[in-house]
Structure 1
Amino acid sequence: MARSFLPTRPGRGPFAPDFWRSPLRGPRFTSVLGVVLLTGVTLVFVTGLLSYAAYNPGLAPVNDKTPGKGILGFYLFPWPTDPPWLYRLTQGVHVTLGLVLVPVLLAKLWSVVPRLFTLPPARSLTHALERISLLLLVGGALFEFTTGILNIQLDYVFPGSFYPLHFYGAWVFFGAFLAHVALKAPVAFRNLRRMREGTGERPDDLVAPRPGPPTVSRRGALGLVGGGSLLLFATSAGRSFDGPLRATAVLTPHGGPEPGGGPAGFQINKTAAYAGIRAAETTEEAWRLTVTGPAGTVRLSRAGLLGMPLHSAALPIACVEGWSTSDQWWRGVRLRDLAALAGHDDPVDVYVESLQRHGAFRRGALRANQVADPRSLLALYVNGEELTADHGYPARIIVPAAPGVLNTKWVARLTFGDL
């Protein structure tokens, strides 16, 4: 006897079989979208975990805003400094691919929405578990993509810190995603095989029992979804580049206000005015860098820092929002030389404090391997000129492959040692 995919009672509104009449819905359409999401979401999840590791969550409570990770932190490791463009790549892929997948995700949710209204709600324990995983999957996907897009737009309307919300949400979403894949992937691949073989579509609860007239073919609908993804790519990926391409990123912030020209003409996220930096406290007479370690406390003026050996490094800046700059030439004092001045023969972790008054990143920390890298600098110059106020004058941190939030600007204090 053929299996019936209709509910055991008629229902009304969206619970009625005749309510969903689109002839596009069916296992093949859903399977194509599902396979795209299988690859894309997995890559977004992995690069998101790498972004979290790059933020040094092990340096609690300085960088780590996520309490009680427990077993969720099993994969964390000291973030490397090579290649210097590593974070620029991983975070650029994470954010850009996340945006590109939005049309695919919305189309997939549209294609399976009748399953959210099937009656009875659970026909068996297995079916009940499947429904629960589906609800977690849909809720988790909407939460992760929404908070991620808001973060890209620098629009923090959600309660609490973005990092723990996005971190916990990612694990809930991906757990439900894996459960859904385990249940549906074999069916999806069978459907795709039937498409290649040209065989007919099997009965399925997504197929409308009495479909309405078609307004577009399934191939056309998939083309529309793909076109939407390409449009999002074309209007967002440019923020990872300098020059004319950045102007194409019309749907995403370019990384703060327009930088203008000259040696300092590259993107920033927050201006000195936004951070509450007063010009009077950054003058040569007023500003001092406090360096603390086993040797005691040393206070250095900018002239004192200029009297130390200076070194140069060509490094990009890449931020969690996905934007980045190309390499800039930085010049300043190596962090490992400042660690030695503080009394550490070998580089150690460092706690960095800024003059910044407003915003979430007034303090940060770097691991010993980052301090040890000869390209890690307390920068005083960029591209042959003194730092501007918006780029962190009198001094800022610049570290290869580190997220932009750890390249602290307007540095006031460095504390070397166990954190």
Structure 2
Amino acid sequence: MQAPPVLLHSAYRDGAREDEGGPGEAHRVPPLSAAGPALILARSELKRQHEKIHRSAARNRRVPNTKETPWTSNTSTPSATNWLTCANARPSSGGIFDYDEKSRRLSEVNAALEDPTVWNDPKNAQALGREKKSLETVVDTIASLERNLADNAELYEMSKEEGDEDGLRAIEAETLGLAAQVEQLEFRRMFSNPADPSNCFIDIQAGAGGTEACDWASMLLRQYLKYCERKGFKATIEDETEGDTAGIKSATIKVEGDYAFGHLRTETGVHRLVRKSPFDSSGGRHTSFASLFVYPEVDDSIEIEINPADVRTDTFRASGAGGQHINKTDSAVRLTHIPTGIVVQCQDGRSQHSNRDVAWKRLRSRLYDHEMRKRQEEQQKLEDTKTDVGWGHQIRSYVLDNSRIKDLRTNVEISNTQKVLDGDLDAFIEASLKQGV
């Protein structure tokens, strides 16, 4: 079977040339004026999908110049796999479309999992299992696209020759389904950060403004829990400090799922709320702030050395709900990493021992993120560490009485404020990833 892109290419290119009066080379397609509406739609959709995948692949490889290389059914052409990927692409540019590298790594992971001794290290085995699932998602999707594109191109030629408009309508519907898969691959191609596939933590901190700011922080907590629910991520509130009157002063969410950090990392920054406060009897307009900080979970297999002498441990009584025991003992734990100033705390567990374990794991994750951001700063001179996310680093403005939410980095603006507060953040996140903010 010929490579799907070649079939698609000749299926529409030769027809286009004949429509324009040029000589068709291999598969002659009737002029559009003589074709039925289903033929026009099917041919147009096949062309659109071919060009979309062609553009996606071109970002990661050198593709043949189709204007200079007239592929025909008798021409020797690259395989579909080679067409979608490129051996000459730089490793750092491959991203989600680095099919060859991901296929090679999948073979390595499968071989490792077949080794009977792999379960001698359960944590490593579980990490390999997660990596296998992530790799299979990419490899299987591209392989499925390859097969379906080939089948559709073949059916297109058969239906065209037989004048089968029902068949052409079916091809059109099928290619619309392929379009959604291509869009998903296009989006995932933007996950080039090494930590993007990881689980992550979201720290939410209320700013100045008392009760209004605490209420805004709780609204953001709900918003991101709803977002995780929409995306199929598992979200767990690991730490929460209630406000004096309403809302929360701070909270930490753990998000588990495929590319959780990749989806959420651009949400780091200050979120501003403008509304008529329900806590103001005069109905005055108030401005409140809350900050978000998103960082990846560090896999246990990653070595991060922490000198215990660099960490100060403080214990105190938990302030949240949790029964009589949790509030009567110094079970809460706060760790301060003196060289970096990073502070983490945990108070949700019933014992100091369990809180200490969780706090140390979170500290390792924070130090990993600190190191990654330091390297990015050296390379790109970006101010991305948590200490740089001050109240001046505002990324999004929520003006509720004007029904307007605007991202100040990408200028994406949405008027359906309730939809956004209910977790529909896709437009903002996709735009920020595409623009590399």
Structure having the higher helix fraction is: 2
Q: What TM-score results when the alignment is normalised by the length of structure 2?
A: 0.27
Q: What TM-score results when the alignment is normalised by the length of structure 1?
A: 0.28
Structure having the higher strand fraction is: 2
